[in-house]
Amino acid sequence: MARLFLGIDLGGTNIKIGFFDEKLTLIEKVSMPTQPEKGPEFVVETIASAISNLLSKNGFSKEDLLGAGVGCPGPVDLKKGVIENAPNLPLFRGFAFRDALGRRLNIPVTMENDANAALWGEYTLGSARGARDVVFLTLGTGIGGAVIANAQIVHGHLDAAGELGHIAIFPNGRLCGCGQRGCAEAYASASNTARRAIEEIQKGRKSTLKELLLQNKMLSCRDVYTHRDSGDELACEVTSLTHEVLGRLCAVIQNFISPEKIIFSGGMIARGDELLNDIRAEFEKYAWPGRQDSVEICFASLGEDSGIIGTTALAIEADREN
């Protein structure tokens, strides 16, 4: 009998499923639309059907499947296996997703916050491998976060640790979606980088981005960086502030947690060395003298697979403990 495990990354838009052996070798992965408007029971059935197809396609049976891990958007109650109030999954509020999926698959299911799961993937096979104290920051619609301290995921009270994007960088600054002012997320997430450019154009600032905004009724973070590359003054100012905020955030994290590594992930890291070097330069301005070299600031290496790798690794660990 084979010993197989599943990693599931549940998102508001897509579900990713990875099919692994017990050595974390990927056998196959699939992705499908979540369709959260159809409700959690529908999503459980969608996942179960996809898994059945994966088993059949690769010549395995249900008896070969020993466990699954699932990463869910927060906040979550890990003790109860409940999705509490994920903004992109409103119909899932209070739904005991872990147990519902476990009953449907008839295997043990381990549940984790999606950012924690992604960090655990990097810790197991990626950029965090070999470190015992790591911070993980995802740059997307918001700034997600996760922390490993002394080789353990930090969950905190109510499983709510790791909301590092809501550290206030500028007191009384921009209003954040969380209701607080001055959060790092309000300035330096991908969506807020674009939003700040839009706001400046609406105030009358000249920019080569204006024509694009009038044409598309919106701007993306990628648009702003493209115009930065062309030397647009506004785009350069907006993205430079993004980099400054991220560097300041790293300095705060260093003082509070003292990690070996701070790892960035998300679409913005496609900017490569330019982004990383700017964050490092800003970090060095605000870090304690003599401690600038005590933390490595780097990018995630597993891409979109970090979540399914992390959840599978957690499922394998749970199986070994039992």
Domains in the chain with CATH codes: 4-121+304-321 (3.30.420.40), 130-300 (3.30.420.40)
Provide the percentage of residues in the chain whose pLDDT is more than 90: 88
Specify the pLDDT at position 322: 80
pLDDT digits (tens, 9 = 90+) for 77-136: 999 999 998 878 999 999 999 999 999 999 999 999 999 999 999 999 999 999 999 999
- Where helices occur in the chain by DSSP H, the ranges are 40-57, 97-105, 114-125, 185-188, 190-202, 209-216, 221-229, 233-257, 273-286, 306-321
Kindly report the pTM of this predicted structure.
Answer: 0.92
